[in-house]
Structure 1
Amino acid sequence: MKEEEDAVKRIKREALKEKDDPGAFIFPIRLEGKVNKNTLADTGSDINTMPHRIYKTLGREEMKKIDKGITMINHTQAKAMGKLSNVLCQVGVITIIANFLILDIPINCDAPIVVGLGFLYIMGSILNTPDRLFSAFDGVCHQTFRAARFDVLRTAESDSDDEEEYVI
């Protein structure tokens, strides 16, 4: 009888954990027609961030210098080096212009591009957390992405030769 009770508790705990964790909303993004990466939707903030190494590949020089600290998802601190305005972003068939904070993140850390609620709102997106779906509609075309495990983001399109895994 004790074994059955323990099994029921374990199943309930796993079911609650799975229900509460919608996974990471990851979708492909193209920046300035030059950079194709996966991006992470952060529903807890309203800022867009990109690592300095991605900013360098864009080839733009007009970053506005700022001195601001950012607390990352894993509660570490990152320094914002500047703000890049009017970045052309394409997600599927939807194209918008957004601003990004450029973060000073070590080159060996494969940190993703992160977009906040404002970006998602301008895109006309809907996050359906119970079904783990992310949808966007531009008035003509409807596109849907499925939430993924966060480790998918770390292994998709890594430019790093380092074998260690990093989490933003």
Structure 2
Amino acid sequence: RKIKGSREIGVVVSALTRNEEFTVGTSQALPKKCRDPRIFSVPCTIGKCTFADAMLDLGASINVMPTSIYRSLNFSDLEPTRMTIQLANRSIVQPLGVLEDVLIQVNELIFPADFYVLDMEDETSRKESTLILGRPFLKTARTKIGVHVGTLSMEFGDTLVQFNIFQAMKHPTEDHSLFDIDVIEELVEEYF
């Protein structure tokens, strides 16, 4: 199969690298292009609520929980926060507060995590989870993602749990995109 640059996949490619100090010639085969593994998610339990698909997000510096899930868990009051969060669509939101030291069970492992609670009530009323487990959780759980081989593992002490991410992607759940159109409506009213 031809790709841009008139090279065939699987054949040896000659490349020439040049900078001011030296010139190097190399030959290597092109790797096969892989498909997008999409969203990584794991089943987990918080309190008596089980979530089939808590999303793992290396791009998130915090853990996020929608207000609807916070209310269903019947946890104590939120700790106030002055933090503001910039979402992927570049909008700025302020969390309702922080829920500290929440115990998250993934199979037989239990990890503590802090969640910032965001008001996304209307978009998360469906059954699917919109928990976002960011880098703090991933580090606590010693998460390793082998994208090429399709494995995701978490560990604590001598206990290791593994997931086959390719198998999980064969049974995708609903789209987890979250949008808020109220802001757009306010801007339209303001300018027109």
Tell me the secondary structure at the aligned position of residue 95 of structure 2. strand
The 5-angstrom pairing of residues 33-72 of structure 1 reads: 34-37=48-51, 38-72=53-87
**In 2, distance between residues paired with 1:76 and 1:113?**
19
Distance 1:47 1:130, change over 3 A: same
Stretch of structure 1 that moved more, 139-148 or 114-123: 139-148
TM-score (structure 2 length as normaliser): 0.64
Q: Hey, what does 1:126 align to over in structure 2?
A: 144
Q: C-alpha displacement at 1:116, in angstroms?
A: 1.1
- For structure 2, the 5+ residue unaligned runs are 10-31, 179-192
Q: Percent identity between the aligned chains?
A: 23
The answer on whether the counterparts of 1:74 and 1:167 sit within 8 Å (CA) in structure 2 is no
Q: Hey, what does 1:24 align to over in structure 2?
A: 39
The 5-angstrom pairing of residues 56-95 of structure 1 reads: 56-73=71-88, 77-95=92-110
The answer on whether the counterparts of 2:41 and 2:55 sit within 8 Å (CA) in structure 1 is yes
**In 2, distance between residues paired with 1:96 and 1:59?**
19
**In 1, distance between residues paired with 2:150 and 2:85?**
27
The answer on whether the counterparts of 1:22 and 1:129 sit within 8 Å (CA) in structure 2 is yes
Q: Hey, what does 2:177 align to over in structure 1?
A: 167
Distance 1:31 1:166, change over 3 A: closer
Q: C-alpha displacement at 1:70, in angstroms?
A: 2.5
Paired AA for residue 142 in structure 2: G
Which fold has the larger relative contact order, with Cα–Cα distance below 8 Å and residues 6 or more apart in sequence? 1
Q: Deviations over 1:3-48 (max 9, x none)?
A: x75xx66xx7xx6461xx332210011112x211121111112210
Q: Hey, what does 2:134 align to over in structure 1?
A: 116
Larger-gyration structure (1/2): 2
RMSD (Å), alpha carbons: 2.9
TM-score (structure 1 length as normaliser): 0.72
Q: How many residues align?
A: 147
Q: Hey, what does 2:111 align to over in structure 1?
A: 96
The answer on whether the counterparts of 1:67 and 1:81 sit within 8 Å (CA) in structure 2 is no
Distance 1:16 1:75, change over 3 A: farther
Q: Deviations over 1:73-107 (max 9, x none)?
A: 46555441110001111111111111000011132
Determine whether 1:152 maps to 2:152: no
